[in-house]
Amino acid sequence: TPVIGVLALQGDVREHLIALAAADAVARPVRRPEELAEVDGLVIPGGESTTISKLATLFGLTEPVRKRIATGMPVYGTCAGLIMLADKILDPRSGQETFGGIDMIVRRNAFGRQNESFEASVAVRGIESPVEGVFIRAPWVESVGAETEVLAEHGGHIVAVRQGRALATSFHPELTGDHRIHALFVDMVRTER
């Protein structure tokens, strides 16, 4: 059984732990580099990317997480977690850092300006029928590099991507009770072990 960590600095950690357990993984919170070393894959939750970025640096996790991602650890980021996986943010707050891992440019709060929060049915490549996407001050992906696969769009904007072992969604499957995207990620981790 794969052991999957959830970066537990800020955000909806508990919901991811529950979704991963439902998708047959052993799920653990990760706050320290020693805990990161023990997991086969990592989820970066939704929350506030500027806060996650600051706390990751404070907890000495920024470089270790970057290194694990760069050396092939599977990662999945939702919303703020998607932002943390972007190689580039269009409108970063000063000092805001990301872990990187996906060749894409993201726009923070992109959907949020018009609409703080909404739900929409989203067709995701590799998932048989549409998932209910919960968007909360959600980013979208402005553009992707040649190696990044677009898995879903909403309203003409990219909202789910994958590059190699890194997966990211603008929306929050952990809030819906539909664990198919977590199951897809658990499969990615299983095949990489």
For the annotated catalytic residues, the residue numbers are: 79, 172, 174
- CB-based burial label for 142 (10 Å; 0-12, 13-18, 19+): middle
CA 118, CA 127: separation in Å to the nearest integer? Answer: 21
Query: Which letter does DSSP use for residue 174 in this model?
Result: G
Question: In terms of CB distance, is 23 or 79 closer to ligand GLN?
Answer: 79
Footprint of ligand GLN (CB under 6 A): 46-49, 79-80, 83, 108-109, 136-137
Whether 190 has a binding-site annotation, put simply, is no
Please report how close the Cβ of residue 108 comes to ligand GLN at its closest, in angstroms.
4
Cβ neighbours, 10 Å, residue 114: 8
CA 172, CA 193: separation in Å to the nearest integer? Answer: 26
Please report how close the Cβ of residue 28 comes to ligand GLN at its closest, in angstroms.
21
Q: For residues 59 and 156, is the Cβ–Cβ distance under 8 A?
A: no
Question: In terms of CB distance, is 25 or 134 closer to ligand GLN?
Answer: 134
Please report how close the Cβ of residue 111 comes to ligand GLN at its closest, in angstroms.
9
Whether 68 has a binding-site annotation, put simply, is no
Whether 77 has a binding-site annotation, put simply, is no
Nearest CA to 163 out of 89, 48, 70, 24 is that of 70
Question: In terms of CB distance, is 12 or 40 closer to ligand GLN?
Answer: 12
Whether 95 has a binding-site annotation, put simply, is no
Q: Which residues are annotated as a binding site?
A: 47-49, 108, 136-137
Q: Which residues are annotated as a binding site for L-glutamine?
A: 47-49, 108, 136-137
